[in-house]
Structure 1
Amino acid sequence: MSDQSAAIDVAHPPELLIKTLNPILGRILRTPLGRPLGEFMLVRFTGRKSGRSFAVPVSAHELDGDLYAVLEAQWKFNFRDGADAVIHHSGRRRELRGRLIADRAAVVDIVNRLAVGYGPKKAQRTMGMGFRDGQLPTVADWEDAVARLNIAAIKFTPRP
């Protein structure tokens, strides 16, 4: 963790590892071989400003029957006003609509519920976060992290 005083910080794998594995993971997630990799999904979308196509492997989170991505990455803003996406998850291809959830209270609720549901070890791994002392963060810790790290969620639902 980069901020030792913070209860929650970003804890992604090294950049070289991500650059090496993401293309491989992306290919696998597009096939039936992706079925056992249910912790991940491939999000394919078109850039809001650039018009370029993107395919990004991310952790998949299910909450109350809905599919979410939780991230601090800047590409999340492509979903600010809602955007279509093709999701490859658990060996299935689905055409969904992603909507950015940036309201801090809503994001805090989502990430806290996910972390509690996963437990501290799995939450750190699947959410790309490190928790101080390996303990589950409090709601106040999440409030700080969401604001400080600019964490948001994208909720994916069936297209209208």
Structure 2
Amino acid sequence: MNVVMRPLLASPLGRRINGVMLLEFTGRRSGRTIKVPVNFHLVDGIPMAFTDAPWRFNFDGGAPVKVTYRGRVYETRGLLVPMSPEAMGAAVRKSLDTGGSAQRMGIRTVPGHRPTAAELAELGPALGTSVIRLDFAPPPVAQPNGVR
């Protein structure tokens, strides 16, 4: 999917894709440019990417990153924030409350059930073990209706 999403997010069609952003950064050890499509999460008004992928360590201590989200490019910084299962559960709950997609995160629930932060914390590493905190202000997006 990354092969398709990288150019799509960077194209004019990327303006129509909500909930996914493209991170472009330089590898700390390799020095090569890395482009990674990730799910967009808004937690307390702060854009974040939840991940346990090895590339996350490039953001340990902070690093410059170019973020392409909904057709706009932001030159900003990303910071790796390791999280406990409880903190990750709370962050996921906040993301779901602001329009995040449980389906894109791989969370399955009974229709109509809103998992609590404690229930989400029980998923543990399935949600990821870290977040990349991004310092940019995304444009407002209309929130979908319905239970997530």
Under TM normalisation by the shorter chain, which class is it?
0.7 to 0.9
Residue 51 of structure 2 corresponds to residue 71 of structure 1: yes
1:99 corresponds in structure 2 to 79
Counterpart of 2:36 (choices 39, 44, 56) is 56
> How far does the alpha carbon of each residue in 1:135-155 deviate from its partner, in whole angstroms, 9 at most, with x for none?
433222222323566432111
Superposed, 1:13-52 pairs within 5 Å as: 18=1, 22-52=2-32
Q: Are the counterparts in 1 of residues 92 and 117 from structure 2 also a CA contact under 8 Å? A: no
Q: Which has the higher helix share?
A: 1
1:112 maps to 93
Rounded to whole Å, the distance in 2 between the matches of 1:64 and 1:89 is 18
Over 3 Å counting, the alpha-carbon distance change for 1:125 and 1:69 in structure 2 is same
Match of 2:139 in 1: none
Tell me, in whole angstroms, the C-alpha distance in 2 between the residues paired with 1:50 and 1:115.
Answer: 35
**Unmatched 5+ residue regions in structure 2?**
137-148
Residues 59 and 149 of structure 1, relative CA distance in 2, 3 Å threshold: closer
| Contact 1:79–1:99 (CA under 8 A) maintained in structure 2 | yes
Q: How well do the aligned residues superpose, as a CA RMSD in angstroms?
A: 2.2
Question: How far apart are residue 99 of structure 1 and its match?
Answer: 0.7
Does structure 2 retain, via aligned residues, the 8 Å contact 1:43–1:57? Answer: yes
| Residue-pair matches, total | 134
Instruction: Give the CA deviation at 1:107.
Output: 2.8
* Structure 1 residues 145 and 151: CA distance shift in structure 2, 3 A: farther
Q: 1:102 to 1:32 in 2, by over 3 A?
A: same
| Pick aligned residue for 1:89 from 69, 91, 97 | 69
Instruction: Tell me whether 1:123 sits opposite 2:101 in the alignment.
Output: yes
Secondary structure of the residue aligned to 1:115 is helix
Query: CA 1:38–1:150 in structure 2 vs 1: closer, same or farther (change >3 Å)?
Result: closer
Letter in 2 for 1:107: M
| Aligned-pair identity (%) | 31
Cα distance in 1 between the residues matched to 2:94 and 2:127: 18
User: Do the aligned partners of residues 65 and 30 (structure 1) sit closer, same or farther apart at CA in structure 2, a change above 3 Å counting?
Assistant: same
Letter in structure 1 aligned against 2:38: V
> 2:110, 2:18 → 1: CA distance?
27
| CA gap 1:149/1:66 in 2 versus in 1, 3 angstroms | closer
2:130 is aligned with 1:152: yes
TM-score scaled by structure 2?
0.76
